[in-house]
Amino acid sequence: MTKKQAFRTAVFFVLLVGILWGLNSLFVHPAADGTTARYRAFYKEEKENTWDAVYIGNSVVERAWVAPLAWHEHGIAVYSMSTDLQPMNLTVNVLKEVKKKQNVKLAIIDLRGIRESKLIERDYKVRRLTDSMQFSENRFDAINNAFEFAENYRKDETDLDDKISHYIPFLKYHSRWEELSETDFVKPVTKMKGVYEQTAFKIRDKEGPTITNSIGELSETQLKILTDIMNYAKENDIQLLFTAVPTRIGSGDQEHINRAFQIAEENGFPGINFNTEEMYRELGIDFTSDFCDTNHLNSKGARKLTAYLGKYLAENYDFKDKRGDEEYKSWDDAWEEYTVFYDEGWKKADEKRAKKLNKTK
């Protein structure tokens, strides 16, 4: 091959990658919630090395953490990189992605994802994370890790396949051309530091769970996932804080989570289990008004969780109060926007419920 031919080949591949990148950006639609906006803001809006900590988990974290509130009350910048049903075996990949841009010294990891039933690798679980990530070696590594995990854990129950379309999501989503809307061309980003909006003002009146303090045993797979996270943190000088966000959960799963807390503590990592009667009282959790569905906090419940955890972080970690710092103006703006969102949202929701109640009388 001549130099001229080599040059043309190189140009062709550069153009091909550019076209695929553009098509992926246009067509890929991994989730109907705020995940893509949250990740897009991480890549496009968040200033480098301005976070104090990152919160990682699945949908319970996504709905429970109110970053603008923790900022307003304590001047700490803690951003959620959670995704709905996020596979816990990919937590290290999420940490690696965060570390590319944010030199966080603390990672808060929720343990709800360690339940055995939630470890089964599903196509949509993986895509909601990896389709939200930028093209990189770490993204490809996350996909490879997911497929390797699926091959070795309850293989007969996974639906993970078509690996090439995970690498190049356009191959899966190309048929969306008839569904394209303005938001596909002008991608939204979160202006409230990842606050979950979709079910913020819904109320689901349900009884609370039966709590157990019993300690179960983790399977070899569960233990490896937890150990991998702790080892990565130790090797990269990251402190870990484990949590279990308030949710309804079976006693068997609680026993596994209780054991995970115990193992973390044995390795020098603290934890806060919010699923205890004591913590429900401490937070003031009301299962008749603080949940939007069976398992997830609404925005009232989220404020209670965030108020407690934000205070804990401010008191137990050496985070500087950065309120008033011009570099963090976007956090002040997020609080202002969130305040309007919260107050007006509940006003409208309460009016709607009142009208519905009057119609039934």
| Per-position DSSP letters for 164-175, written without gaps between them | HHHHSTHHHHGG
State phi, psi for 273 to the nearest 5 degrees.
-95, 105
The rounded percent of the chain whose pLDDT value lies above 90 is: 72
Extents of the domains making up the chain: 48-118+190-317+328-360
* End-to-end Cα spacing for the chain: 83
Which helix (H) or strand (E) segment holds residue 315: the answer is helix 299-316
Residue 156: CB atoms within 10 Å: 5
Q: pLDDT tens, 135-173?
A: 899 999 999 999 999 999 988 888 888 888 888 776 665
Q: Supply 158's token pair.
A: 């996974």
Model confidence at 25, pLDDT cuts 50, 70, 90, reads low
The rounded percent of the chain whose pLDDT value lies above 70 is: 85
189 against 9, higher pLDDT: 189
- What pLDDT, on a 0 to 100 scale, did the predictor assign at position 78? 99
Matching residue, tokens 């496009």: 44
- Find out whether 128 and 85 touch, Cβ atoms under 8 Å: yes
- What pLDDT, on a 0 to 100 scale, did the predictor assign at position 3? 65
For residues 288-296, average pLDDT: 95
Residues in the chain, how many?
361
182 pLDDT above the threshold of 50 = no
- What pLDDT, on a 0 to 100 scale, did the predictor assign at position 190? 76
Q: Environment class of residue 15 by beta-carbon count within 10 Å: exposed (0-12), middle (13-18) or buried (19+)?
A: exposed
Q: Environment class of residue 333 by beta-carbon count within 10 Å: exposed (0-12), middle (13-18) or buried (19+)?
A: middle
CA distance 270 to 274: 13
197 pLDDT above the threshold of 90 = yes
207 against 114, higher pLDDT: 114
Residue 268: CB atoms within 10 Å: 11
CA distance 44 to 92: 22
Give the residue among 211, 217, 309 at the shortest CA–CA distance from 260: 217
CA distance 181 to 228: 41
Average pLDDT, the chain: 89
12 against 309, higher pLDDT: 309
Q: pLDDT tens, 247-285?
A: 998 999 999 999 999 999 999 999 999 999 999 999 999
In terms of CATH architecture, what is 48-118+190-317+328-360? 3-Layer(aba) Sandwich (3.40)
Q: pLDDT tens, 30-62?
A: 454 577 889 999 999 999 999 999 999 999 999
184 pLDDT above the threshold of 90 = no
Which helix (H) or strand (E) segment holds residue 152: the answer is helix 137-152
Q: Environment class of residue 283 by beta-carbon count within 10 Å: exposed (0-12), middle (13-18) or buried (19+)?
A: buried
- Find out whether 300 and 284 touch, Cβ atoms under 8 Å: no
